Structure 1
């Protein structure tokens, strides 16, 4: 497995603080002081912008810029915390991308907008389809990808939301690059496709802070249909079940658990199959290391927010473990195909007034390790 490292440049931040010294009017030092000391009023929006650096054999060096915007509707802290995450990058191999995620709540949580935007020219490793796909990737897939997904949900009862969703995914200029002496059977969608899905989602959500849930429940059931009637190249149905529970332990610790199922009926292209791995669930496995029509995965995490340390109230930690598998149909679901991963990490309380941590996690699998530095918990 090729491990991809992402480094949040807080070393630069700390260095700048030291260099600033008495230069209190320096813009950088004022920004850093505002960030680290969280001088913004708790009810006011906050915006964070920071550089990232990454490396992988497929991309060479990757330079990026990440952003986070959080706010309460009408500046009312009794409302739920809304967040918009952004990330843009380019690499020395002329690859680039623009990614946005958002979870937005209206006043009194009457409306809930949940969605994502992806536009990127970025390589992916294709290991094949199924739980027995080889550890060494079969091909490097280069393509331009676009995804626009949006869910517009209305509260119909306290904490219960329902509404339509739309998902548009396009993969173009696809090139499967395999070793010259290896034949790779190219999967459905290997020449590219454009698919539009329309569906309905129902969500129970009583979380107050989606970036760091200390007590709550989130449960989503969504069905989305991709059909030629609305200009999809492929015809299939996708069903998602995502269930998360969070329970406080003592004064500051949290026990969190998640169970996710993703199921496809019909002929889905390879890029829209269920993908196991990534920065959220089954950490330590490359995103899409295993892929198939269906997926079941679960994880549990214990968070110390913060650690009971005398020298700092902003340092936390976590330990986590996960298991999951992919399968073509339920007759091929086998406990012997379960993959396992686990690890731990440190937390830093970035915005104390909004209870938002940045995390640095390391995860281990029998194929290697993964290292992640991101703002907000994995789930």
Structure 2
């Protein structure tokens, strides 16, 4: 879905991005829909107050046709205390005229004084996936289209052990059913492990350092996570494998408006994972411009940098970013060669959705050697 042309259903957002937010939304305040539109462009909620916004989305992709949906965003702080970190709950639901549908849920919830930290995401969808094969040298033109119903649930329950340090259990459940591979020809990618579907439950633990105060738009801070997950038949999994994930992010405020940020990411899988649980390159957060899973293998290293201008010097609510990233995949760690590095880069526009909470809607365009990808989401990519 990352390659679909996703636009906010009403075109007022584009108008605000182009014309510095000078819309006459005051006239729309009558009625529930009008209040939602007005809130998007004129939110005045205090930094401590809860905020809830709903807006429609529209998209199109060759594999799905027309896509209609809605997004909801809930922002709050524990006990409405501005000294507590900003928590967010996001939901996105969609359907297409080809009987495809999905529900996405994301959460980053901090308890009072950071005693607890809940970080997770859920994906429930029937949606076609592109499968290009495994490894760093797969062909772009000769991919298979995989139709399946998938459930993916991942949650970390973290307890603060000292200032900005958290530790706790992690669970990952992934199920793929009703799988069908539509290969363009007999020369297309061979059927991988898990081609008939699979159910895998992973249990593990995560160690996190996090001193960010606003996870949707970090101006200054550091985030580091090291986690381990183990999947085995004794845990009701169809396959036996394990994964180690390393995620390091650093954010540096250059001045009141501008931020330079970087991220280093590693995903290392051992054993016999199904194709949908290999390390996947691409998507809306890392290597933007590539379809998520354009390249996949047991191991991946990736890095990205981003320069944020939030907002522009000449505007109060419109900003922009420049970003670039590199990544490589391989069957073993010693086969993560620099000669197989893929690159992506691009730019984006931002609209300040919640001024008192410093939250922007992002529109990113990522370019690669193989084309471009377009994304609209709440909050920054990392």
> TM-score, normalised on structure 2?
0.94
Residue 127 of structure 2 corresponds to residue 122 of structure 1: yes
Counterpart Cα distance in 2 of 1:283 and 1:43: 33
In structure 2, the CA distance between the partners of 1:247 and 1:183, relative to structure 1 (3 Å rule), is closer
In structure 2, the CA distance between the partners of 1:30 and 1:187, relative to structure 1 (3 Å rule), is closer
Deviation at 1:23, TM superposition (A): 6.6
Does structure 1 conserve the Cα–Cα contact (< 8 Å) formed by 2:259 and 2:309? yes
Counterpart Cα distance in 2 of 1:150 and 1:22: 42
Which of 142, 145, 148 is residue 140 of structure 1 equivalent to?
145
Who is 1:224 aligned against?
A: 229
Which of 67, 71, 74 is residue 69 of structure 1 equivalent to?
74
Matches within 5 A, 1:1-379: 3-12=3-12, 25-182=30-187, 184-309=189-314, 312-379=315-382
- SS of equivalent to 2:11: helix
Counterpart Cα distance in 2 of 1:22 and 1:374: 26
> Which stretch shifts more, 366-375 or 268-277?
366-375
Show structure 1 runs of 5+ residues with no match.
Answer: none
Q: Deviations over 1:196-241 (max 9, x none)?
A: 0000100000000000000000000000000111110000011000
Deviation at 1:302, TM superposition (A): 0.4
Deviation at 1:268, TM superposition (A): 0.5
Does structure 2 conserve the Cα–Cα contact (< 8 Å) formed by 1:305 and 1:316? yes
Counterpart Cα distance in 1 of 2:24 and 2:291: 38
Counterpart Cα distance in 2 of 1:225 and 1:193: 16
- SS of equivalent to 1:185: coil
> TM-score, normalised on structure 1?
0.95
Deviation at 1:132, TM superposition (A): 0.3
Counterpart Cα distance in 2 of 1:334 and 1:38: 48
Deviation at 1:21, TM superposition (A): 7.1
Does structure 1 conserve the Cα–Cα contact (< 8 Å) formed by 2:25 and 2:37? no
Does structure 1 conserve the Cα–Cα contact (< 8 Å) formed by 2:142 and 2:188? no
Deviation at 1:42, TM superposition (A): 2.2
Counterpart Cα distance in 2 of 1:265 and 1:373: 34
Counterpart Cα distance in 2 of 1:318 and 1:56: 25
Show structure 2 runs of 5+ residues with no match.
Answer: 16-21
Counterpart Cα distance in 2 of 1:355 and 1:19: 22
In structure 2, the CA distance between the partners of 1:197 and 1:20, relative to structure 1 (3 Å rule), is closer
Deviation at 1:36, TM superposition (A): 1.6
Instruction: Give the aligned CA root-mean-square deviation in angstroms.
Output: 1.9
In structure 2, the CA distance between the partners of 1:202 and 1:137, relative to structure 1 (3 Å rule), is farther
In structure 2, the CA distance between the partners of 1:226 and 1:40, relative to structure 1 (3 Å rule), is same
Does structure 2 conserve the Cα–Cα contact (< 8 Å) formed by 1:282 and 1:322? yes
Does structure 1 conserve the Cα–Cα contact (< 8 Å) formed by 2:312 and 2:320? yes
Please identify runs of 4+ aligned residues in structure 1 that moved more than 6 A.
Answer: 17-21
> Which stretch shifts more, 18-27 or 100-109?
18-27
